[in-house]
Each structure stands twice: as structure tokens, then as C-alpha cells.
Amino acid sequence: MTDTDKIDIEAEKAKADAAWWKKWWRQDFSWEGLKNKPWQGWSVIESENRVVETADAPEDARKATLQDYWRWDGESLRDDQALLDLGLLEDHDGQKRFHICHLPECWKDGSESWKPNAEDERWDIIAQALMVKMGRAAKTEAEKTTPRQGEKLIGPDRRLQLAGAQIRSLPRPPTADKTQDSGPDGAYHLHAAWTRWLDAANFNEAEFASPVRFNNAQFSGGNASFNNAQFSGGYASFNNAQFSGGDANFNQAQFSSGYVSFRNAQFSGGDANFNQAQFSGGNANFRYAEFSGGYAIFYNAEFSGGYADFYNAEFSGGYANFRYAEFSGGYADFYNAEFSGGYANFRYAEFSGGYAIFYNAEFSGGYAIFRNAEFSGGYANFFNAQFSGGDANFNQAQFSGGNASFRNAQFSGGYANFGNAQFSSGYADFRYAEFSGGYAIFSSCFVSAHARYRHERRPELRSHDRCRLSKRPKSRSSRSLPHKHLAHPKKPRPAGSVAQPKIRVRKPKSWRTPRLNASLGWRQARSIGHGFGNSPSPKIRSMRQSHSLFLFSGAVFKQSAYFSGSRIFATARFSDAIFEADCFFGIAQQSLQTGKSLIPGAYFAAATSFRNALFKRTADFARCRFPDKAEDRNGLFENCRFNEVLDLKGVERLPFSAFQGIRLDQGLSLDPVHPMDDQFDEALEQAQIAAERDQAACEAKDYKPDQDPERERRGADNRFAALEAGCRVLKTQMAAAEDKAREQHFFSYEIRAREKRTEHALAAKRSEMRADPDKQKAWRHRLQAWLLPDPNRQFQLWASQRYGRISHYGGSVTGPLATLGKASIWILALYISLSFISGLFGSRVMEDICLFHSCSSELHPIVFELLEAVAKGALGPFRLLAGRGEVFGYLGESAPLFRGFIMAGMLVHGLISAALIFLSLLALRRNFQIN
């Protein structure tokens, strides 16, 4: 979220707060205003000065009001003077009279009352008054109604009447004194409409044993926490509530005895957390709710009591997480919902209670993720939905409850991925859908008899990506469905988390030398416990692959996987694989027994990819051998994540370019002999050869760029960029390990790779300019094509090369000093030349100088002056060590031009020496690990 977005949110909060205050004043919760607000189910007998239930009241009794509620002390109605004496009523100059609980935080003119002061003693009076009232609160029954029908109580309203109050906190209900009318120990009986909370509202683990109303309440003082709260007494209404002070926490809350309504609620202060909340008592209404303050998290929430209504809800504050949510009580309505704040994640969500309605929904904030979602309760309606924020991912989704309609849907933000999706009940309707953001992927999806594709604007799908249309659904035995695997606190989930494998892996007689059928591959193969023979873990050793593909893309290894000793001479793909346990492509820890040699690491002889793979435990690549060709190893670990240390001990040749884009949470382990300059020189040569092969392939007559999956990786710039990025990763890891010597080595490799990129870019620019006939007509363009096709990059290349020659890219201590010595000799020669030239034109510089036999025992002052000038220039920032005197001061005002040249030379000499001394000291710091 940008600073501008935060400013906009704060402005919206201020606007909403001002609107709330305006409405609160209009409600008039002053002492006189409370006369107009009924206290339902109660009447006042004026002659007896007491309150009774309306059912037991005489005919001449009047209806009770909220003013009577605050007058009633359990025995009689106190008058105003008695309340004033007790401090329960307050008068302020020019303001209406208020009960102390309803006294506003600030007045209409903006001036503050005493309530913003949390240390004021009058808060104790409020706490005591609330405790007394809470002790008299009791269970209240209400008819089961909908939010639109309003509140219909059965009998008198015995709840604590906090309507319009402005308090800091609410004490816990008393549990010691128990009467016949009291509810369970510690249960709340609360009516808190229009209540303003000036401090954090803590209702964690509370029980609401009566219908509870927080309509139009404002939680502005901090977090509103209802974690593990139980709403067991009836409905829970938060309509128009404002959660502006912090997070709204309803984690594991249970709404078990009526509907829950957050209609028009505003979550602007922070995250809205409904993790594992259970909506089992009735409908869950979030119509027009605004989640603008942060994430909206309904992770593992259960909507089992009725429908889940998010009609016109706005998720603009951040990530909307409905992962593992279960909509089993009725339809899930997200009609016109807007997901603009971030990802919309419905992964593994279950829509089993009815229709799943995303009609006209907008996913503009990020990816729309419905991977492994199950639509089994009825139609899945995405009519006119817009996926403009990123990829729309329905990979392995199951549409088994009825028709699946994506008619008029627009996929403009990225890929539309329905790979392995199953349309097993009803039709799949994509008429007039537009796939403009990227590929439309329907690879391996399953669609039953009524699929409609006749009138849609068809995306251009490749032959192997087209859906397979079947006339009758396949059984689970022939094509297994995906499962979910998260441990649920109330209902256990199946252990599997991905689709079952497409093929059945039969146990070979020996795992020593199996041969895999390349036409089937190992895509989405799963290793779960005893899935590979009797061994608890798959051990694939000394494997020889004789076919063109070796695929483990999307594989999930639940137990340890062993690939040590493998010899893979085919293209190997481990993209998106998940290694949840230890993974061994080599075995770093092994003892050398008599007569036995070490088990070698895996040998990847051809193109290999671990892109997007996840290694959660040990990743052992000890003694592995990686592809020799640059194009086969570039980006080998791209976007691959290692949660623990990547072990590369024993690897003879570092695959520098393989580390492009890798993510290492705990770093990597290398042998002390690395890095080696000769290996990097060979890597540069291999990158150059790969670039030449790319050029030859692109110039072939039958080359079709749109059919080349490696098009974006071809060319000299991409090949050397991969090498540069890989060295940068290694440099960063050495820096994190505070290994400054090796950090400098990889830094020098990074710069050398960048130099190669620049050289090729300049060569390409020069060739382009030479080939342009219009530019060749002008002599200046011809000269530029030969000399400086791109002056900026040419200077960068020149400076980088000089840096390398002088200091070996910051690694040499003596190199800069030797260069400084050479420069000083040249400067001295220049000064001597200037002295002679100045003397030829009659200057006093050479006056009285002797030559050969005419010299006396005393040297001429010019000798000392020249040496002093060179010494001061060579010392650079330490020139004061050579004295404070001015060079050639004995000349006085004579020879000003000569002295000017000398001063200019000293200035240039000083700048050069300062830079060289700095380079030498920097190299000294790196070599001796000085922090």
C-alpha cells in the first residue's frame, strides 16, 4: 500500500467519523433526548415511582423510556437531583444535560469534554454504574427474524442498555451473585447501538447469551476483539458499525444461535480477522461491507447456518483470504463484489451449500486464486466477472454441482488457468468470454457431455492444451479428484493436497536401474510414504534415463527423496515440485567404509530446471554435476526456494548462471576452494558459445519465434545477464555470511559478466548503425559507428575495465599502490618538463641552476620543490604529512603561470592518489575480514 493510499484511507476515515458524529447528534442521546427512546417491554407506575414489566402493568401506566432505565435503581426511580448528587448527571455551560455514560467525547463546536482524559476520576463512577446495571441484566428472548424485519423481542428487554453511550471499556459480567433470572456465568446481555468505544474493546472468549446489537457502534479507541466469543443467545447485529481504531478480531468466534449481520460495516482501522469463525446459527450478511483498513481474512471460516452474503462488498484494504472457507449452509453471494486491495484467495474453498455467485465481480487488485476450489452445491456463476488484476487461477478446481458459467467474463489481467479443472455436472459456458491478458490454459481439464463452446470467442489454444470432452463423467477410480490437507480443528481433512497422479507407478523389480517411459513422464507424481515399493521413501539411485524427457513437474514428495547417483542425460524438469521432507541429490554425510566408494551426486547432463520448486527441509546437492552448456543451466534454480541451507559441498564446477533468481532463506554451503577464476573464465566462454548458437538458431530459415519456448532467454544479453545475476546472488550470500574475501571474488565476476553484456550491446549498436544506409551518408555517423556508438555505455565499459586492471575489481592491495607509484613518476617527469620549458622563456625557475662539473655541494631549491610537490600529490588526503609549506614559495610573485600549472598538477595528482589509496584500503579490509 502506497503512502497516497494511506492518506486516502485516513481521509475516508475522517470523513466517516464526521458523518457518524453528525448522525449521533441527530439521534439526541442527551438526558432529555432519552425520554423519546423506548425501553421495550417495561412500564412506569407513576404513583408508585417504580418500573414493572408491561405485561403486569396497570392500564394507567406509561411506557418506560431509556431515561427511566438510567433512573431505576432496582427499587425506585431517582430524581435528577439525586443523580446529580451521585455524579451520574452532568451540566455544562451552554450544553444540554447528559448522563455521565452518554456524555460525548467532544461537543458540536469541536471542544472536548473531560472524557479524552483516561485518568479522570469520573471514569470510576462510570465503571461502578455499569457494573450495577450489568448485574441486573438478564437473558432476553427474541423471535427469529431477518435483518430487514428488525428486532422483535419476546417479553421485556432485560439487556444492558448502552445505546448512545461513550465509554472506554466494559467490565466483565459478574459471576459470583446468581439469581433466578441471570444467564450463564459471565454472559453478556447487551444492547450497544450507537455506542462509541474510546479504548480497545475486549470481548475475547466472551459469551453473548442474548441477542446483541452493535448497530452503528464505533470502535475508535483501538482493536475490537471478539476472539473465541460465543454468540449463543440469538442474532448478532453489527450493521453500520465502524471499526476505525484498529483490527477487528473475530478469530474462532461462534455465531450459533441466529443470523449475523455486518451490513454496511466499515473495517477501516486495520485487518478484519475472521479466521476459523463459525457462522452456524443463520445467514451471514456482509452486504455493502467495506474492508478498507487492511486484510480481510476468512481463512478456514465455516458458513454452515445459512447463506453467506457479500453482495457489493468492497475489499480495498489488502489481501482477501477465503482459503479453506466452507460455504455449506446456503449460497455464497459475491454479486458485484470488488477485490481491489490485493489478491483474492479462495484456494481450497468449498461451495457446497448452494450457488456460488460471482456475477459481475471485479478482481482488480491482484491474482484471483480458486485453485482446488470445489463448487459442488449448485451453479458456479461468474457471468460478466472481470479478472483484471492478475492471473485467474482455477487450476484443479472442481465444478460438480451444476453449470459453470463464465459467459462474458473478461480475463485481461493475466493467464486464465483452468489446467486440470473438472466440469463433471452440467455445462461449462464460456460464450463471449475474452482472453486478452495471456494464455487461456485448459490443459488436462475434464468436461462432461453438455459443454458449450460453440459461440465463445475462442482463444488460440495449442493442440496439447485443448480440453478433452467426454460423453460421460469418469469415475474417481479412473481419474482421482484433488483433496485438501490442512488439519481442521473441528473436522479432519483428507491428507492429500494435490491431484492424484495421472499414471500409476508400478514397483519395478529393482530401483537400481529403472527406465522411465518419456511419453508418460513423472508429471504430478506423488511420493507419499510407501508409494514407491516397501521403502518408506523413494530411493532412485544410479538412474539412467534413455528418453528425451525426465519430468517431475508439480511432484509432491511427502517423505524423503533420494536421487543420489542418478545420471540424467535427458531434459529434466522439477518445476513446481514440492519437497516437504529431506531431499538428496547427493549425500553430504556418508562414512567411507572399507572397499566402498562415496556415492556420487546426481549428474544433470542436459537441460535441467527446478524453477518454482520448494525445498522445505534439507536440500542436499553435494557432489552434483550440473550441465556443461550455458543454455542448459541458465536459471536452473530460478524462483526456487530453499527454506534450509542449500548444500553444495563437493561440487567441482559451480554453475554460476544456475543461481539466477534463486531464493535462499538460510544461505548455501560451498567448499573453501570456490570460487575459481578458471571456472568463471570457462563460464564466460560457454555463455559466448551459447549466444553464438542462439544467433545461428534464430537465423535458420525454419525458425518460428512464436513457437520457441526459450525465445526470451536467447541472445548474448540474456546469456550474460543470467551469468551476472547468478554471481550477484552468490555475492549477496557471501555478504550475508560476512565472508568478504569470497564476496569480492563474486563481485569481480559479476562486473566481468556485465562488461561482456556491454561489449555485445555496443557491438550490436555499431552493427545497426553501419547497416543503416541513411546514417552512412553522413561522415559524423560513420565516425560514431566506428568509435562511440553509445558514449555513456562506452565510458562505463572503459571505467569498469580500468577498475579491473588497476585493482582487480577491488581485490588487490598492491595494485592501486603500484599504479600510484607509476603515476607519481610520470607526474615528476611532467613537472621537470614544465621547469625546463619555463626556464627557456626567461623564468626564474631555472635561475642559477648548475649542470655537471659546475655544480656545488648544495642542491638547487627546485629539486626539493619538485620532490615536495610529487610527495604531497601522492599522499592525497594525507598531504599534510609532507609539511604545511607552499611549494615554490621562494619564487614569490614571479612565474605565476608555472606555479599555476604545478598547482593544477598537484590537484589532479591528489585526486588520483586519494582514489587509489581508498581502493587499496578497501581491498585490505576485505582480505583481512575487517568490519
What are the pLDDT digits (tens) for 83-131?
999 999 999 888 899 999 999 999 988 888 999 999 999 999 999 999 9
DSSP per position, 803-844: HHHHHTTTT-SHHHHHHHHHHHHHHHHHHHHHHHHHHHTT-G
Q: How far apart are CA 923 and CA 928, in angstroms?
A: 9
- Among 289-298, 527-536, 729-738, 757-766, the range scoring the smallest mean pLDDT is 527-536
Co-location of 780 and 799 in the same domain: yes
Co-location of 826 and 769 in the same domain: no
Co-location of 833 and 858 in the same domain: yes
Pairwise pLDDT comparison (795 vs 754), residue with the higher score: 754
Q: Which of 788, 807, 826 is the last residue of a domain?
A: 807
Q: Which band of pLDDT confidence, cut at 50, 70 and 90, is reported for residue 307? A: very high
Co-location of 732 and 849 in the same domain: no
Q: How far apart are CA 916 and CA 813, in angstroms?
A: 10
Evaluate whether 314 touches 333 at the Cβ level (below 8 Å).
no
- CA pseudo-torsion sign 27, 28, 31, 37: negative
* pLDDT at residue number 548: 40
Q: Is residue 301 part of a domain?
A: no
Is residue 217 scored above 90 in pLDDT? yes
| Number of domains making up the chain | 4
Which cell numbers hold the place of 417?
Answer: 488457468
Phi, psi of 753 (to 5 degrees): -65, -35
CA angle (618, 620, 622) in 5-degree steps: 155
Evaluate whether 835 touches 845 at the Cβ level (below 8 Å).
yes
Q: Is residue 174 part of a domain?
A: no
Q: What type of residue is 68?
A: D
Co-location of 34 and 122 in the same domain: yes
Q: Is residue 176 part of a domain?
A: no
Co-location of 777 and 818 in the same domain: no
Q: How far apart are CA 231 and CA 228, in angstroms?
A: 10
Give the ranges where 501-555 is alpha helix by DSSP (H): none
DSSP per position, 328-382: -SS-EE-TT-EE-SS-EE-TT-EE-SS-EE-TT-EE-SS-EE-TT-EE-SS-EE-
Q: Is residue 918 part of a domain?
A: yes
- Among 438-442, 457-461, 589-593, the range scoring the smallest mean pLDDT is 457-461
Look at the pTM and tell me if it is higher than 0.85.
Answer: no
* pLDDT at residue number 212: 94
Scan for cell 579490509, then name that residue.
925
Which cell numbers hold the place of 150?
Answer: 428488525
Q: Which of 768, 791, 807 is the last residue of a domain?
A: 807
Q: Is residue 401 part of a domain?
A: no
- Calculate the alpha carbon distances from 416 to 406, 435, 478 in Å: 11, 7, 26
* pLDDT at residue number 478: 34
- Calculate the alpha carbon distances from 491 to 256, 284, 488, 591, 714 in Å: 17, 21, 5, 46, 51
Co-location of 837 and 743 in the same domain: no
Expressed in angstroms, the distance from the first to the final Cα of the chain is 36
Dihedral angle computed from the Cα positions of residues 276, 282, 288 and 290, in that order, rounded to the nearest 10 degrees = -20
Is residue 865 scored above 80 in pLDDT? no
Share of the chain above pLDDT 70, in %: 73
Mean pLDDT of the chain: 78
Evaluate whether 919 touches 808 at the Cβ level (below 8 Å).
no
Is residue 626 scored above 60 in pLDDT? yes
Co-location of 543 and 616 in the same domain: yes
Give me the count of residues in the chain.
931
Q: How far apart are CA 443 and CA 451, in angstroms?
A: 16
Query: Residue 737: exposed, middle, or buried by beta-carbon count in 10 A (0-12, 13-18, 19+)?
Result: middle
Evaluate whether 568 touches 608 at the Cβ level (below 8 Å).
yes
* pLDDT at residue number 342: 87
Which domain covers residue 734, as residue numbers? 682-807
pLDDT in tens, 349-368: 999 978 999 999 999 988 99
Q: What type of residue is 385?
A: A
Q: How far apart are CA 482 and CA 372, in angstroms?
A: 7
Co-location of 828 and 922 in the same domain: yes
Q: Is residue 41 part of a domain?
A: yes
Co-location of 740 and 794 in the same domain: yes
Co-location of 803 and 688 in the same domain: yes
Task: Look up residue 544 and give its DSSP letter.
Answer: B
Q: Which of 784, 807, 830 is the last residue of a domain?
A: 807
Q: How far apart are CA 753 and CA 357, in angstroms?
A: 53
Q: How far apart are CA 802 and CA 805, in angstroms?
A: 5
* Count of Cβ atoms closer than 10 Å to residue 661 Cβ: 17
Q: Is residue 141 part of a domain?
A: no
Kind and range of the H or E run holding 52: strand 50-53
Q: Is residue 770 part of a domain?
A: yes
Is residue 460 scored above 90 in pLDDT? no
Co-location of 704 and 787 in the same domain: yes
Q: How far apart are CA 90 and CA 82, in angstroms?
A: 12
Scan for cell 555505455, then name that residue.
793
Calculate Rg over the CA atoms of the chain: 40
- The candidate with the shortest Cα–Cα distance to 610, out of 587, 627, 622, 589, is 627
Query: Residue 471: exposed, middle, or buried by beta-carbon count in 10 A (0-12, 13-18, 19+)?
Result: exposed
Is residue 283 scored above 80 in pLDDT? yes
